[in-house]
A and B are shown apart, each in its own frame.
Chain A
């Protein structure tokens, strides 16, 4: 069987400080994995390293994505191969409209895959369909990318891009942070519509509340740069109730109380 995503003993550091200290994780198509953990445990680092941010140096380990070595690829190639990161802090690009940006992205990916670029009409048809799914309106996507967007609008825009680009692997980096209940529902419903048996999602989150809407198949606890426990959706519920300390104690990261 071919490998969709396999992370093997991944170590990564930033400015000489090791943040990821040996992460191993296997994700198959059709699965949703949640990665939870206390602040500073390395969750966002993992997301950024997978996407190829060059502030992070991979010092050890490998990542196989669709049978090839992911770490060898430039960030834009990773995107073209089907890896999408919904940013925790989406970046503003003044003067460049969301629509223009997205069309450029989509056509760059299509070109990479040897597909025809979408013309303006086809592109707009696709955009309209997806706009409805995340309740995003025309005036928002005519505005420059994320410029002056509220926190909720930024996150919705990330999910909107996810739906238009239809990647194989979506990594959602704390997409739920800063959302009110309604926005959370919209965003989760967008993610639900994305999911199918041919793609996969890695959901990085602090809280159970997103997982109420997006039920994960697996939950992993990341602490001090390592996955210290993995389980099913029930693990998230238990974490919600009991916090992280007990898992960390069991993993030997904290002294017994």
Chain B
């Protein structure tokens, strides 16, 4: 597909342009800062910082070795420049690599969590307390670099499901960590993955044992609070034979003028007949309407459908971050394994997103589906970048890709870079792409029926994203729709 840009964007009547502008001047409702005492280590990165970080967390030797090896690797690597995003060079020595809400001692229960912190999560609409029992969602909340609380841990453990913070897992299940950490995203995979492997401080860990269908949605909530901090979480999810798990992560950050780096790594490992569904609603602070501040979201997410008949499904709704650089991918190693990627990425104001997926078909009869919906407003730049690779031995592999872009206004851009490599003649690859704009005619049609302009835009955008929203767990689909509305309108909430 060609690269339609601002030139393709529609010629809007002045009134329409004004209205679109009025509610794309979005406000960010999660931009508050929690006033809480934070323990940090001085900015900068060297081996000593890594040793200090590891020591603070009482990590076993294998993990320190893992970090140091990754650090050594990272030093030899350079930042990727191929994404279609522009930003000033990051000084990695100005970043604080560890920030934790100060706590006197280890927490035995939720009751001991700093009430300020709990209040913050309440404000974000995430209750770590009793209410969540009703909605059947287990939550692990990560505040800056530390996991604050995990709900339902005991109940899940009764079924053998381990769901806890990464640090706890290191302490309680070191053998699982040692076995799986870096098995999907190797330490030297890419610049930011290497950095993460060296300095990651917290994240979530989940293990679902053989044959168990996890009885509830698991969810992690990430929040960057401290200034000048980088957030480097590590998430590791393992579904053993025949296991099923659905997992959701949400992210927000305060409104700050400087850019903050978020470089996470997520690894999913699916054994034979296992299914992992991973959904993300990402709403990191996108910067203000002039492009000042906002999170740099440079994330490596990959799932390995290792066993036969395994399945990995990614669903993401990306509305935040100044810059998004993210390609949740599937390695389809097992025969008959299935990979899915459903994505909505919205860029407004000066946001830039270069996002997509990689589907690597190794096993026989493997199947992948890619549905990507990009929405650009303001002067936002939205790029889909995807790779479908069918290896030599992947008999009868199939892929279907659909990339749709929607433009609002005449200053934004949508770009598509699909890469296809087919090494087996029995492979079938389909790619469909479209670029459309919210047409004046569509808006007029809605208005003529009495629907106000802003509602009409919300309705059309949600209609455009429908195929992705219906992949989200029910309660989050509603949230995602609302979020999209907020990101576009800035008038709600």
Give residues of chain B (431-490) contacting chain A, Cβ–Cβ below 8 Å: 439-442, 444-453, 455, 459-460, 462-467
User: CA A112 – CA B447 in complex, angstroms?
Assistant: 13
21 A-B pairs in the complex with CB atoms less than 8 angstroms apart: A54-B13, A74-B447, A75-B444, A75-B447, A79-B447, A79-B449, A84-B448, A85-B448, A91-B445, A93-B445, A93-B459, A95-B462, A96-B460, A96-B463, A100-B459, A105-B446, A105-B451, A106-B450, A109-B450, A161-B449, A165-B450
Determine if A104 is an interface residue (Cβ-Cβ < 8 Å): yes
Given A91-B439, A93-B442, A96-B463, the answer on whether A51 and B448 have CB atoms closer than 8 Å is: yes
User: What are the nearest 4 A-B pairs in CB distance?
Assistant: A95-B463, A105-B449, A96-B463, A79-B450
User: CA A80 – CA B446 in complex, angstroms?
Assistant: 12
Inter-chain contact total with CB atoms closer than 8 Å: 83
User: CA A144 – CA B445 in complex, angstroms?
Assistant: 14
- Give chain B nearest CB distance to A77 CB in angstroms: 8
User: In this complex, what residue of B is CB-closest to A75?
Assistant: B447
User: CA A94 – CA B461 in complex, angstroms?
Assistant: 9
User: CA A164 – CA B111 in complex, angstroms?
Assistant: 55
Give which listed residue, B444, B449, B450, B464, contacts A95 with CB less than 8 A.
Answer: B464
Given A75-B448, A95-B462, the answer on whether A104 and B455 have CB atoms closer than 8 Å is: yes
User: CA A112 – CA B451 in complex, angstroms?
Assistant: 10
User: CA A172 – CA B440 in complex, angstroms?
Assistant: 20
User: CA A91 – CA B438 in complex, angstroms?
Assistant: 12
Interface size class of B (residues with CB under 8 A): 20 to 34
Whether A87 lies near B450 (C-beta < 8 A) is no
The interface residues of chain B lying within 8 Å CB-to-CB of A85 are 448
User: In this complex, what residue of A is CB-closest to B458?
Assistant: A104
Give which listed residue, B441, B444, B459, B467, contacts A104 with CB less than 8 A.
Answer: B459
- If over half of B's interface residues share one DSSP class (helix, strand or loop), that class is named, otherwise mixed; here it is helix
Whether B15 lies near A54 (C-beta < 8 A) is yes
User: CA A87 – CA B449 in complex, angstroms?
Assistant: 11
User: CA A238 – CA B286 in complex, angstroms?
Assistant: 66
Determine if A254 is an interface residue (Cβ-Cβ < 8 Å): no
User: CA A92 – CA B434 in complex, angstroms?
Assistant: 15
Determine if B246 is an interface residue (Cβ-Cβ < 8 Å): no
User: In this complex, what residue of A is CB-closest to B436?
Assistant: A94
Determine if A90 is an interface residue (Cβ-Cβ < 8 Å): yes
User: In this complex, what residue of A is CB-closest to B464?
Assistant: A95
State the interface size on chain A (CB cutoff 8 A): 33
Determine if A26 is an interface residue (Cβ-Cβ < 8 Å): no
- Residues on A close to B: CB < 8 A? 51-55, 74-76, 78-80, 84-85, 87, 90-96, 100-102, 104-106, 108-109, 112, 144, 161, 165
User: CA A112 – CA B467 in complex, angstroms?
Assistant: 32
The interface residues of chain B lying within 8 Å CB-to-CB of A102 are 449
What 0/1 pattern do residues 8 to 37 of B give for CB contact below 8 A with A?
Answer: 000001011000000000000000000000
The interface residues of chain B lying within 8 Å CB-to-CB of A90 are 445
The interface residues of chain A lying within 8 Å CB-to-CB of B441 are 91
User: CA A102 – CA B446 in complex, angstroms?
Assistant: 10
User: In this complex, what residue of A is CB-closest to B406?
Assistant: A94
Give which listed residue, A51, A84, A91, A104, contacts B442 with CB less than 8 A.
Answer: A91
Whether B440 lies near A55 (C-beta < 8 A) is yes
What 0/1 pattern do residues 102 to 129 of B give for CB contact below 8 A with A?
Answer: 0000000000000000000000000000
